[in-house]
Structure 1
Amino acid sequence: MGKQDYDYLLVGAGLFNAIFANEAAKLGKKCLVVEKREHIGGNLYCENIEGINVHKYGAHIFHTSNKGIWQYMNELCEFNNYINSPLANYKNKLFNLPFNMNTFSRLWGLNTPEEAKQKIEQQRLKIENPKNFEEQALSLVGTDIYKMLIKGYTEKQWGLDARLLPAFIIKRIPIRFTYNNNYFNDTYQGIPKGGYNSIFEKCFKDCDIRLNVDFMENKDLMKLASKTIFTGMIDQYYAYCYGQLEYRSLNFEHEILSTDNFQGNAVINFTEREIPYTRILEHKHFEFGTQPKTVITKEFSIEWRVGLEPYYPINTAVNQKRFAQYEKLAKKEQNLYFGGRLGEYKYYDMDKTVEAALQLFKEMNGEVKL
């Protein structure tokens, strides 16, 4: 194809660019999608194994309180009524998350909210200016909850002793004095029936797609389009000229088991430091499956380095300062836009990713109808 045969080059086939492509198609715009993986869908990609939609890159539950975004997504797929109610396993005892009256009853044998409030108050560390994560958590929830259900999990997640983590990582810890196990407070939540793949097939159906192509080695592709939307790592795009931004990465071990039900719940966190994985997912429970076999995934949080997949931006003051330098470079660009978790170095939930993609499209093309 000749020069600028496309309106948009979309680098990355994840959610941000899928929504952008969906809007572009409504205006008859032509998009070229470049994706380094062998599939579209980004981290939401599902693989069908034993008739089960396996979330290959970790659990993803769509949740939002934005009615417009919920309605928008319902035009792309039909959601089931899955309610996220994870459990925490500590020394083979199970506790409900987020911390609620079921947790406190199991932990202390208490029956009333008043008893639970008094217990937490007795255990809370009375400190005005917590210096680190451990002091902050102890000042919020006290010793039992912290030592059993927070400390080990957090240290595995970040790869550091809790006393070396900054206090600002947790400004608050959700505590409920009701028997409500719904992890999210949002109005709407669910998982697409049949998994997430259909959303991407629908959004990208009018696009030309090139899989297994590393854009960083093929930047000349930008010449084919009037504008480029880049959803990779912003620091990588600029060859780490201000240094590397930090991320946490994940490793997944998938297993097919010859049982119809391994753990009875979609998500169980393992809070002991000695257990190497942070959680086990049992995928069939996301869609109320009754298949004869089951697929589980053990999730390990690992240190990121160049070559690994970046999952979570580490929002320390140093990283934010470094990102601000990259952002200044990005703002000087003509016809190049950065989006998504990696392009904007933000921990976006899915609904916020959709909002951000729609906002960018609106800024570039005018009104988006929700």
Structure 2
Amino acid sequence: MEMYDYVIAGSGLFAGTFAYLAGQKGKKCLVVEKRDTMGGNLYCQDIEGIHVHKYGAHIFHTSNKKVWEFVNSLTEFNRYTNSPIANYKGEIYNLPFNMNTFNKLWGVQTPKEAERIIESQRAAMKGEPANLEEQAVRLVGTDIYQKLIKGYTEKQWGRDCRELPTFIIKRIPVRYTYDNNYFNDAYQGIPKGGYNPLIDRLFAGCDVELETDFNQYRERYEKLGKKVLYTGTLDSYYGYQYGKLEYRSLRFESETLNIENYQGVAVMNFTDRETPYTRIIEHKHFEYGTQEKTVITKEYPQSWEEGREPYYPVNDHTNQTLFEKYRILAAQEHNVLFGGRLAEYKYYDMDKVIEAAFDLADRELA
């Protein structure tokens, strides 16, 4: 029976970064993946020569030069800049909220005019915000909240904004410039050829077993490795013994259309409550595609249940208390490492995932 230095449960970006760094140190890794594809939610499907982000749009951005140099050493990135559009009942607004947005809303032209309107609307909210609606109005005023936040947020979380806690929106970016770049990070782009070449490089040299549930055969895999790196949901690792953590999930509907250009932008958010999906992704625009056809994906938020992909942790007090019970159990393990968004019950941007994997590799492989 072959012995591995690490048996890695899951094949997302955290697992891949650690596997690559371990391989650079001469460590042998076995990757056990439940799906029939590698890469976790980064996996791209080739349709009509278009790299379709099958599990939701992933736009890489970072201000960490070390992270940027790392991913570019594995594959080449393009210069894609995320400039999404908000569609409110057919009215088109730029995101993030900037002078283009304010000009469309109120006809203002200068930052001072826009600031005056927002401040007057914010001032109407007295006292400490008691829910997300009051928090949002306190941050950006009533007009922006009603048209560009309320409907989208209620679809995303499946509840009225007055029933949602304030912590979901800690800050809302407002820019008094005519700049549609969603991220302020120094580096941004999409891998040329989609994310699969990056995933292939990260796991090159690893042995891989697909369509295998690590938890179902855990005893066997623990015997195959000196250590386990587990990147799945923490509650499932412990058989949900304290109960299940809550998530929001997504359902995707993709279509191939016999036209070159459907919406003119990669990401269009639908911010009214009546439209059942939150956004449409037109994938070819991530890589400036010139194909004769196009592929679009509609994203429908939904509640999570076993068998669905857990996307967004519901980080309220109840779930954080429950997660802490599982975290205490995990801290007592001797030969099992835990990491990534699922094992840490945490929403991670991709660069932060890589940073966290760097930190683990520094501790483990030094």
Scaled by the length of structure 1, what TM-score is found?
A: 0.97
Separation in 2, partners of 1:204, 1:58: 22
Aligned to 1:309: 309
Aligned to 2:170: 171
SS of equivalent residue, structure 2 residue 235: helix
Separation in 2, partners of 1:76, 1:317: 40
Gaps of 5+ in 1: none
Amino acid at match of 1:50: E
Separation in 1, partners of 2:273, 2:30: 45
Counterpart check, 1:106 vs 2:104 = yes
Equivalent residue in structure 1 for 2:40, among 42, 54, 68? 42
Aligned to 1:136: 135
Separation in 1, partners of 2:306, 2:89: 35
Is 2:125–2:134's contact at 8 Å kept on the other side of the alignment?
A: no
Amino acid at match of 1:123: Q
Separation in 1, partners of 2:142, 2:91: 17
Q: Deviations over 1:84-104 (max 9, x none)?
A: 000000010110000000000
Separation in 2, partners of 1:139, 1:203: 44
Percent identity of equivalent pairs: 62
SS of equivalent residue, structure 2 residue 8: strand
SS of equivalent residue, structure 2 residue 295: strand
Task: Work out the number of aligned pairs and report it.
Answer: 364
Separation in 1, partners of 2:308, 2:46: 24
Gaps of 5+ in 2: none
Counterpart check, 1:256 vs 2:256 = yes
Amino acid at match of 1:317: H
Q: Deviations over 1:138-185 (max 9, x none)?
A: 111111110100000000000000000001111111000000000001
Which range is displaced more, 311-320 or 94-103? 311-320
Scaled by the length of structure 2, what TM-score is found?
A: 0.98
Is 2:230–2:337's contact at 8 Å kept on the other side of the alignment?
A: yes
Amino acid at match of 2:36: E
Q: Deviations over 1:260-298 (max 9, x none)?
A: 000000000000111000000000000000000000000
Amino acid at match of 1:14: G
Equivalent residue in structure 2 for 1:75, among 73, 76, 79? 73
Q: Tell me the CA shift for residue 241 of structure 1.
A: 1.4
Aligned to 1:160: 159
Q: Tell me the CA shift for residue 122 of structure 1.
A: 1.8
Separation in 2, partners of 1:248, 1:236: 16
Amino acid at match of 1:62: F
Q: Deviations over 1:297-329 (max 9, x none)?
A: 000110001111101111111111111111110
Counterpart check, 1:146 vs 2:113 = no
CA RMSD of aligned residues (A): 0.8
Separation in 2, partners of 1:66, 1:10: 26
Which aligned pairs between 1:234-249 and structure 2 lie closer than 5 A?
234-249=234-249
Separation in 2, partners of 1:91, 1:6: 56
Separation in 2, partners of 1:45, 1:277: 22
Q: Tell me the CA shift for residue 128 of structure 1.
A: 3.1
Q: Tell me the CA shift for residue 127 of structure 1.
A: 2.4
Aligned to 2:186: 187
Aligned to 2:282: 282
Q: Deviations over 1:37-88 (max 9, x none)?
A: 0000110000110000000001000100111111111111111000000000
Separation in 1, partners of 2:126, 2:77: 45
SS of equivalent residue, structure 1 residue 341: coil
Equivalent residue in structure 2 for 1:12, among 10, 13, 16? 10
Separation in 2, partners of 1:306, 1:53: 28
